[in-house]
Amino acid sequence: MDISNNRYQIQGVDLLELANTYGTPLYVYDADKIKSQFDKLKSAFDGVKVRIKYAGKSLTNLSILKLLRSYGSELDCVSIQEVHMGLKAGFTADQILYTPNCVSFDEVKQAVALGVMINLDNISLLEQFGNEFHGTVPVCIRLNPHIMAGGNKKISTGHADSKFGISIYQMAHIEKVVSTYNINVTGLHMHTGSDILDAEVFLRGAEILFDAAKHFSDLEFIDFGSGFKVAYKEADIVTDIEEVGAKLSAAFKDFCKSYGRELEMWFEPGKFLVSESGVFLTKTNVVKTTPATVFAGVDSGLNHLIRPMMYDAYHEIVNISNHGGTKRVYTVVGYICETDTFGLDRKLDEVKQGDILMFKNAGAYAFSMASNYNSRLRPAEVLIYKGAPHLIRKREEFEDLLRNQVEIDLD
């Protein structure tokens, strides 16, 4: 993002003009930033056979999926609907990993029929899988490494009380099920959480996976999940992806030598690839002064960006209508009938009614978690690609709220 003549731009496209053209609230994504993040991750692991599978749940817009596919990414899906979206975006079945949690076996069978790689994370489903397919369909097993990691308990998935993965302490049970049903295990998987800073977390998890791999003779890949942390504010500490790449690649090469053949290394980044590419533009509806606080109330709320309320996530907020103005302190809030505070006591360039406030780091788990709460409409999305804006989702209209409702006659 650049500032030219006090105007914020992405690839030379003026953000205030986008707000005027498409209205607010509005999500805007920078294709160049997504490409640079993908290339950075790919190059960090250039010494091994690596496959990057974008975590589609972070931003599932069809155009974003197609964009990442064009860069060489594959896809990680957590629902059968995401699998269908991936196929529609042009990913082939062999490029898609399906990692469900607490789903019915019927959904798993649908995924098998589509030909994608199945990643199972509980013993009951593994038994049903073996009984149904008798070793004819390859499968990956998701293990819980019992590592507490991540920036927030709600995004830590590898700890002892997590619903995700099969505990490493149940390895004997896993082996028994695999042997009984002659299950073809071709991959092992773990994911400890998001916003992980320390390369040692990945190395501890790797050692656990390497030890588990000794129990399976026909592995083709090991999937290390993701969780790389990006910056949310100036001078924020981030994952040193080059350090992680160097250390983990070296450990992986040593393991492959002892295993007897070269395996593939898989990752499933979501936030790392798209978070910093996105900004969220909102219009200031009111500036409200109370005895203790000055509120800047915008035309959005937790229905469009729930991360600050759900995860205590920090999003830098900028008044792009008054760059360089006098600094004042505001609490930025939404228009939902809940306490939907985006930012508490933020020092912003003076805000007036009608000003456009920009939320940074709004590319991941932002629109994808949006809702119609309070019967509000979900916003439009725009992708800046090759220096030009492209509308990739229209703003909802009132008819969209009624589309699947069935009105009954009460007379």
**Catalytic, out of 77, 140, 256, 337:** 337
Q: Look up residue 228 and give its DSSP letter.
A: B
Rounded Cα distance between 126 and 176, Å, is 11
- Tally of CA atoms within 13 A in the half-sphere of 107 that contains its CB: 18
Rounded Cα distance between 389 and 10, Å, is 10
Rounded Cα distance between 45 and 250, Å, is 10
Rounded Cα distance between 153 and 296, Å, is 30
Calculate Rg over the CA atoms of the chain: 23
Burial of 290 per CB tally in 10 Å (0-12, 13-18, 19+):
exposed
Q: Confirm whether 256 is a catalytic residue.
A: no
Is 311 assigned to a binding site? yes
Contacts by 241-244, CB closer than 8 A, 24 or more apart = 241/40, 241/41, 241/44, 241/272, 242/44, 243/199, 244/44, 244/199, 244/202
> Residue 354: helix, strand or coil by DSSP?
coil
Is 47 assigned to a binding site? no
Rounded Cα distance between 44 and 52, Å, is 12
Q: Which amino acid is at 330?
A: Y
Cis peptide before 145 (omega within 30 of 0): no
Is 307 assigned to a binding site? yes
**Taking Cα atoms as reference points, which of 240, 189, 206, 276 lies closest to residue 44?**
240
For residue 206, how far is the Cα from the chain centroid? 22
For residue 254, how far is the Cα from the chain centroid? 30
**Taking Cα atoms as reference points, which of 34, 2, 60, 77 lies closest to residue 385?**
34
Rounded Cα distance between 141 and 168, Å, is 11
**Taking Cα atoms as reference points, which of 324, 213, 199 lies closest to residue 261?**
213
Rounded Cα distance between 275 and 262, Å, is 32
Q: Which helix (H) or strand (E) holds 109?
A: helix 105-114
Rounded Cα distance between 364 and 342, Å, is 16
Catalytic residues: 337
Annotated binding site for substrate: 307, 311, 338, 365
Binding site, annotated residues? 227, 307, 311, 338, 365
Binding-site sequence positions for pyridoxal 5'-phosphate: 227, 365
